[in-house]
């Protein structure tokens, strides 16, 4: 009896496994892999899974495997260097250029034509995702750097939104006198957050034209324009206008400094709208664009593409990958990202028709307006070459702590930029 039962169970198990296998790997099915950040918000990951389900339902011959990993870019980089890697690559646009220059990615021009992507995105997006005249990625999201402020506090104290660097410093002084920290800031869990202040400072201190020249190699990193900008940033930090102990607190703690009213302002990206709403502070928060820190230079909004999606050159079915990319960034699909606070740079997204928080819609309009007027600057993670960017955000704290001088910092930035030029990492835009 026992033998018969065992035999029956074994046969049943084998049949079940065979059936399961046939279902999962039906003949002609293309499988695509994507690495997805395990630290992405639950809402964003749920959205991605939902998009995948919809796509798979409409395209039963394509299966998408989403792998949650802690560092999608780093792990993809290591696997690609070893000749493998996921089919769809989710990386920062600066890294995307390095991958493209090394033939690790599929040029997307033919797909762009097939799916008419050119009509969906502005030229700045296309330029940011092109290398050597060819298109290599679709934007993952859009970022803009703004200053969030406690409007109630501003009104109570009669504080005005600053319109120059001096007014900004004066505002910070007034806040400090009232025992309020001017700018909440924390980097202990993400040192790369230094990119945010660096991007903001360089856009405010140099303006669009000079920053463009700097990033194209037409202006030296040791020039007075850069020196003044770095001095201004360091001045804010050394005076504790930007929270001096930022290395000891996390980003969440910094946000809570702002939402609990201990800090009057919080300089961060447009991605903060949803977490700020979720924290439900007992005051109204608003945003302003950082004023210009230099006379005669217009204020600009630092913008970036927060990551991009490209196709691995080793992908066995790039057509299927392109088809998924096209679906993922259909205006009505991408628009759903706004519901959890992610902005997207697509022309045909109708914000008014989307069920998204009002603050998120306000920020999308805020960024769109700046893009329309052309008064935008260049965030480090989208426009700066890799070595220069990494050195800039890794070392800025050392100047503030007097571990290195501004001169040493600028000289090293220049050396890193030259290295980037030699390696072909400098973006042409």
Partner 1 sequence: MKQITKRKTISRIERKREILAWTMILPALLLNVFIMGGPIVGTFGISLTDWDGIRAPHFIGLDNFKKLSLDTHFLWAALNNLKWAVFFLIVPVAFALIIAGIIRKVKRGQLIYRTMFFLPYIVTSVVAAKIWTLLYSPFYGITAWLQNLGISNPPRFLADPNLALYSVAFVDSWRYWVFLMVLFLTALSQVDQSIEEAAMIDGANKIQTFIHVTIPQIRPTISMVLILTTIWSVTTFDFVYLMTGGGPGSSSELVSTYMYRLALQNQQPGYASAISLVMVLFSVVFMSVVGLLRKRGWEI
> Which residues lie near partner 1 (CB under 8 A)?
74, 77-78, 80-81, 98-99, 101-102, 104, 187-188, 191, 244-249, 253, 386-387, 390-391, 394-395, 397-398, 400-401, 403, 423
**What's the closest the beta carbon of residue 295 comes to partner 1, in angstroms?**
31
**What's the closest the beta carbon of residue 13 comes to partner 1, in angstroms?**
36
> Would you list the DSSP string of 293-356?
SSTT----EEEEE--EEEEBTT-S-HHHHHHHHHHHTSHHHHGGGGGGT-B---TT--GGGS--
**What's the closest the beta carbon of residue 279 comes to partner 1, in angstroms?**
15
**What's the closest the beta carbon of residue 425 comes to partner 1, in angstroms?**
9
**What's the closest the beta carbon of residue 398 comes to partner 1, in angstroms?**
4
Closest CB to partner 1 among residues 184, 367: 184
**What's the closest the beta carbon of residue 384 comes to partner 1, in angstroms?**
13
Closest CB to partner 1 among residues 94, 370: 94
**What's the closest the beta carbon of residue 157 comes to partner 1, in angstroms?**
24
Closest CB to partner 1 among residues 21, 74: 74
List for the chain the helix, strand, coil content (%; round to 5): 55, 15, 30
Chain Cα centroid distance, residue 320:
26
Closest CB to partner 1 among residues 188, 317: 188
Sheet holding 138-139, edge to edge: 62-69, 30-37, 88-91, 308-311, 138-139
Tokens representing 184 are 């909440």
d(CA 157, CA 159): 5
d(CA 182, CA 176): 7
Contacts of 63 (CB under 8 A, 6+ apart): 24, 29, 30, 31, 32, 56
Cα Rg of the chain (Å, integer): 24
Compute the half-sphere exposure of residue 128: CA atoms within 13 Å on the CB side of its CA: 30
Closest CB to partner 1 among residues 10, 102: 102
DSSP 88: E
Tokens representing 198 are 């660096």
Closest CB to partner 1 among residues 104, 183: 104
Closest CB to partner 1 among residues 104, 221: 104
């Amino acid at each position: 009896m026992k033998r018969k039962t065992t035999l029956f169970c074994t046969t049943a198990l084998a049949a079940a496994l065979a059936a399961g296998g046939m279902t999962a790997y039906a003949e002609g099915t293309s499988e695509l892999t994507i690495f997805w950040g395990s630290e992405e918000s639950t809402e964003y990951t749920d959205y991605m899974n939902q998009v995948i389900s919809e796509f798979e339902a409409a395209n039963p011959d394509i299966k998408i495997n989403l792998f949650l990993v802690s560092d999608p870019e780093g792990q993809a980089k290591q696997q690609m260097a070893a000749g493998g890697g996921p089919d769809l690559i989710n990386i920062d646009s600066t890294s995307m250029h390095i991958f493209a220059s090394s033939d690790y990615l599929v040029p997307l021009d033919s797909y762009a034509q097939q799916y008419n992507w050119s009509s969906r995105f502005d030229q700045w997006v296309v330029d940011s995702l092109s290398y050597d005249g060819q298109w290599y990625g679709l934007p993952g999201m859009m970022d803009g750097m703004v200053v969030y402020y406690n409007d109630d506090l501003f009104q109570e104290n009669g504080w005005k939104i600053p319109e120059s660097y001096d007014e900004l410093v004066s505002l910070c002084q007034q806040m400090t006198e009232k025992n309020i920290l001017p700018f909440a800031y924390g980097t202990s869990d993400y040192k790369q957050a230094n990119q945010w202040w660096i991007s903001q400072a360089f856009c405010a201190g140099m303006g669009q034209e000079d920053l463009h020249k700097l990033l194209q190699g037409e202006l030296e990193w040791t020039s007075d324009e850069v020196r003044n900008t770095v001095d201004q940033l360091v001045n804010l930090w050394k005076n504790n206008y930007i929270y001096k102990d930022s290395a000891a607190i996390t980003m969440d703690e910094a946000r809570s400094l702002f939402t609990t009213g201990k800090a009057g302002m919080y300089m961060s990206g447009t991605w903060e709208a949803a977490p700020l709403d979720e924290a439900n502070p007992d005051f109204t928060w608003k945003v302003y664009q950082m004023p210009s820190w230099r006379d005669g230079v217009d204020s600009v909004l630092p913008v970036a593409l927060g990551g991009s999606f490209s196709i691995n050159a080793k992908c066995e079915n790039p057509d299927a990958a392109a088809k998924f990319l096209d679906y993922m960034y259909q205006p009505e699909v991408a628009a759903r990202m706004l519901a959890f606070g992610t902005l997207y740079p697509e022309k045909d997204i109708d914000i008014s028709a989307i069920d998204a928080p009002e603050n998120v819609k306000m920020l999308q309009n805020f960024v769109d307006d700046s893009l329309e007027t052309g008064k935008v600057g260049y965030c480090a993670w989208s426009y700066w070459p890799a070595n220069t960017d990494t050195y800039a955000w890794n070392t800025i704290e050392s100047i503030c702590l007097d571990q290195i001088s501004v001169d040493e910092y600028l000289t090293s930035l220049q050396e890193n930029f030259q290295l980037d030029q030699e390696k072909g990492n400098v973006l042409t835009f």
